[in-house]
Amino acid sequence: MVIPTLEELLALRGAAHGLSLQRRRRARAALIGAHASAQRGRGLEFQEVRPYTPGDDPRNIDWRVTARRGRPHTKLYQEERERPVWLLVDLQPGSFFGSRRQLKSALIVRATALLAWIAALDGDRVGALVTGGRGPTRIVPARARLQGVLPVLEALLAVQPTAPGEPAPQSLHETLRAAAALIRPGSQILVLSDFCAPATANDGPWLPVARHNDIRLFWATDPLEAQGLPDGRFRAGLPGRLVALDGQRVRAGWRAAWQEREQHLTRLSQRLAAPVVRLDTAAPVESSLRAALLGGSSAT
C-alpha cells in the first residue's frame, strides 16, 4: 500500500474547497473572522446594554438608554475573530495496518491534511500536535493560511510509520497532556486516531482539553477489525513474531474486543460532548469527510 507523499497532500487542497468545519457561518465571516469570541469589548457585533461599571470604555456609553433610565448604561459588543484549529494526530506504530485500499496510518495522514486545508481556507489558524508513539510529540504552532498548513504536512510525513511496529496505545494520552498545557480555551480541536487504548484506560487526560474547547473525534478503522478473520488459517503479528491463527476460533473474541473499543469510544464521546466521525480504510478520505462535514458528523 502507498504511503502518502507531499505532492498528494498538497493536492488535497482542491478537495477542501466548498467544505467547512463550521455548522453555520455568518454573512460577514469572510471579512472579520468566522467565530464569536467569548471576550467582550469594543467589537463589531452589538450584544447587549447593561449598567455602566468603572473601567468600561466611555465611548460605548448608550446615551439614549442613559437618559431614559437616569443612570449610565454601556453597550457591549461581541468580537468576531478567527479561532485556532488544533489537529491532534496519533500515528502510533500499530496504525500501520490495513486490509483494504490504504493503511490506517495513511488514512489518518490524508484526513489530517484535508482538515488542515479546510480550516485554512476557512480563514482559521492551523496548528498540530503529532505523535508517532516513540519519542516526543511534535508541536506545530498555529499559523494562518499556507504558513499553518505546510508545517503540518511536513510533520505528518516525518512522523508517519513506514513499517509495522509494536502498538503504543498510550501515545494519544501523552499528546493530550501536551495539548492541555499549550492550547488556549476557545479553540477547535480535531483528534485523529484509531483509538486503540484499552477500554480500561483512564479518560482523565481528555478533560482539561475538552473543558473549554470544541472537540471532534475522527476514528480511523479497518473492516477487518470489526468483522474478524474469515475461516481458514492465518499468520499474524509483527515480523519475526508471527503466530498461527484459526479464523473461526478467534472470531468471537476478536469481535468482542472490537465491540468493547466501540463502546468505550461512544462513552468517551458522550462524556466529552464530542461527536465522532468514523473513517474507513476502504473509502477515499475525500468522500468520507465530505459526507461527514456536509451531512453532519456520524456518531458511533
249 pLDDT more than 60:
yes
Shared domain check, 162 and 60: no
Number of domains making up the chain: 2
How do residues 168-221 score in pLDDT, each as one tens digit? 988 999 999 999 999 988 899 999 999 988 766 778 889 899 888 999 999 999
DSSP states along 90-120: E--GGG---SSSS-HHHHHHHHHHHHHHHHH
Same domain, 108 and 67: no
pTM metric for this prediction? 0.78
Answer yes or no: do 143 and 45 share one domain. Answer: no
Give residue 68's domain range.
35-81
What's the CATH code of the domain at 150? 3.40.50.410
* pLDDT value at residue 187: 92
Average pLDDT, stretch 98-111? 95
Pair 64, 120 in one domain: no
Judgement on whether residues 281 and 186 belong to the same structural domain of the protein: yes
Strands 138-144 and 125-131, bridge-based pairing: antiparallel
233 pLDDT exceeds 80? yes
Output DSSP code: residue 58. Answer: G
Span 224-239, average pLDDT: 80
Q: What one-letter code names the amino acid at 300?
A: T
**Tens-place pLDDT, residues 121-147:** 998 999 999 999 888 899 999 998 888
Question: pLDDT for 21-30, tens place per residue?
Answer: 975 433 333 3
Q: What is the pLDDT of residue 31?
A: 32
For 106-117, what is the mean pLDDT? Answer: 98
Q: Please compute the mean of the pLDDT values over residues 226-240 and round it to a whole number.
A: 79
Q: Is the pLDDT score of 39 beyond 80? A: no
Q: In this predicted structure, what is the pLDDT of residue 164? A: 87
Q: Which of 5-14, 84-93, 197-206 bottoms out in mean pLDDT, i.e. has the lowest?
A: 197-206
What is the C-alpha separation between 159 and 163, in angstroms, rounded?
12
Same domain, 189 and 76: no
Work out the average pLDDT over 208-236. Answer: 88
Place of cell 495522514: 109
Which amino acid belongs to residue 287? Answer: S
The pLDDT mean for the chain works out to 84
Judgement on whether residues 104 and 238 belong to the same structural domain of the protein = yes
Q: What percent of the chain has pLDDT over 90?
A: 52
Q: Which residues of 89-119 are buried (b: 16+ CB within 10 A; e: fewer)?
A: bbbbbbbbbbeeebbbbbbbbbbbbbbbbbb
